[in-house]
Amino acid sequence: MMQKNQHDSSATLHRSIGEEGFPLLELGGRYTLAAMGRRLHALPAELARHAAEPGLRWDLRGIEQMDDAGAILLWRAWGSRRPDHLLLRPEQERLFSRMEAAPAPPAAVPRDAWWPMMMLGRGILLLWEHLVALVALIGQMLLDVRYLATHPARLPWREISANLYRTGAQALGITALVGFLIGVVLSFLSSRQLQTFGADIFIINILGISIIRELGPMLAAILVAGRSGSSMTAQLGVMRVTEELDALTVLGISHSQRLILPKVLALGMAMPLVVLWTSAVALLGGMIVAEIQLGLNHRFFLDKLPDVVPIANLWLGLGKGMVCGMVIALISCHFGLRIKSNTESLGAGTTNSVVTAITVVIIIDAIFAVVFSNVGLT
């Protein structure tokens, strides 16, 4: 009796009865990853079905070519052990002998019932570690400020100027675009509602308070955190990967004086100006829509704006921008210095830096809203 099962000429299974009357399975063709191709999904089940048959003899001498993928396929079908009757060529014997000598895979570690508490504890410890490192970084920066105050000739003016240009001047385009669009959308939606109640004039109050006090600083801070904050973290991370930070240490140059302090000071000075620019462009977009939608003259809008929006809101927005700018720079430098000497850590550190900076900016905005709730609104 003879049964032949051949789905592909590259990998064949030939079932027959041997000379001694025992069932024999002869394998032929090429058992390689490229040759098995589409049959790779169906062949394991077919081999496992034959391996479950007791007394079956396997003859692999007819296989023309076999790579590690084909050997692993057969090894798994046999249940990670040789069958009782197996005929091999010498090169195949060496291949399966190596697989027999390979260590067994480690057993799956059962998940502990307390793993949620363990993950929570690890998260709290990681947060505490970041807070301690940030406090240490702030302390080092304050020491540098005290040192530079007594040695003004050592102030890194070029680094501060370069960071002012990168974080301030180069951010004007994107902040203006986003601010203008936000002003247009806010004015359009608000004017539609105010028209319903005949309160068109109050569009000035809504735009003035919301943009100058909240939206302007928030938009500028979030955009700067995503743009400049990620750039700072990536710069320090690349310096870690290329061992430039180690070279500065060998030369006796302080990281905080030459890399961190200029970024913090520059972003602290640039952010109020970026906030002022973003708020002005957003008000311009809102004013244009108010004139088109409500017929509110732009001259009347500009004349009425100082009367309905107290100047305290402007100072509050500028102060919020300065605080957010310095915090963004600190967080970005903190994560940049923690990056290890590999590209995977560089990507993860930059992502964590941006997410943390935006989260902290929102928290700072909430704190300002609560602390200064009675300022500029009465």
- Secondary structure of 187-224 as H, E, C letters: HHHHHHHHHHHCCHHHHHHHHHHHHHHHHHHHHHHHHH
Instruction: Looking at the structure, tell me whether residues 151 and 22 fall in a common domain.
Output: no
Check residue 2 and give its pLDDT. 39
Check residue 378 and give its pLDDT. 58
For residue 376, being part of any structural domain is answered with no
Check residue 73 and give its pLDDT. 84
For residue 116, being part of any structural domain is answered with no
Instruction: Looking at the structure, tell me whether residues 190 and 325 fall in a common domain.
Output: yes
Check residue 41 and give its pLDDT. 78
Check residue 81 and give its pLDDT. 82
Count of domains forming the chain: 2
Instruction: Looking at the structure, tell me whether residues 260 and 142 fall in a common domain.
Output: yes
Check residue 39 and give its pLDDT. 75
Check residue 193 and give its pLDDT. 84
Cα separation, 136 vs 337, in Å, equals: 13
Instruction: Looking at the structure, tell me whether residues 133 and 92 fall in a common domain.
Output: no
For residue 307, being part of any structural domain is answered with yes
Check residue 178 and give its pLDDT. 93
Instruction: Looking at the structure, tell me whether residues 213 and 322 fall in a common domain.
Output: yes
Check residue 319 and give its pLDDT. 93
Instruction: Looking at the structure, tell me whether residues 56 and 184 fall in a common domain.
Output: no
Domain that holds residue 145: 127-371
For residue 121, being part of any structural domain is answered with no
5 phi and psi, to 5 degrees?
-125, 105
For residue 262, being part of any structural domain is answered with yes
Instruction: Looking at the structure, tell me whether residues 240 and 191 fall in a common domain.
Output: yes
Ramachandran assignment for 243, one of left (phi > 0), alpha (psi -120 to 50 degrees), beta (any other)? left
Give the end of a domain, one of 101, 135, 152.
Answer: 101
Instruction: Looking at the structure, tell me whether residues 89 and 165 fall in a common domain.
Output: no
CATH number at residue 73: 3.30.750.24
59 phi and psi, to 5 degrees?
-125, 110
Check residue 6 and give its pLDDT. 42
Query: pTM of whole model > 0.75?
Result: no
Check residue 113 and give its pLDDT. 78
User: Percentage of the chain surpassing pLDDT 90?
Assistant: 34
Instruction: Looking at the structure, tell me whether residues 44 and 188 fall in a common domain.
Output: no
For residue 114, being part of any structural domain is answered with no
Instruction: Looking at the structure, tell me whether residues 15 and 56 fall in a common domain.
Output: yes
* pLDDT-flagged residues of the chain (< 50): 1-9
Q: In whole numbers, what is the pLDDT of the chain averaged over residues?
A: 86
The sign of the torsion formed by the CA atoms of 351, 217, 228, 327 equals negative
Instruction: Looking at the structure, tell me whether residues 65 and 199 fall in a common domain.
Output: no
Instruction: Looking at the structure, tell me whether residues 132 and 214 fall in a common domain.
Output: yes
For residue 188, being part of any structural domain is answered with yes
For residue 377, being part of any structural domain is answered with no
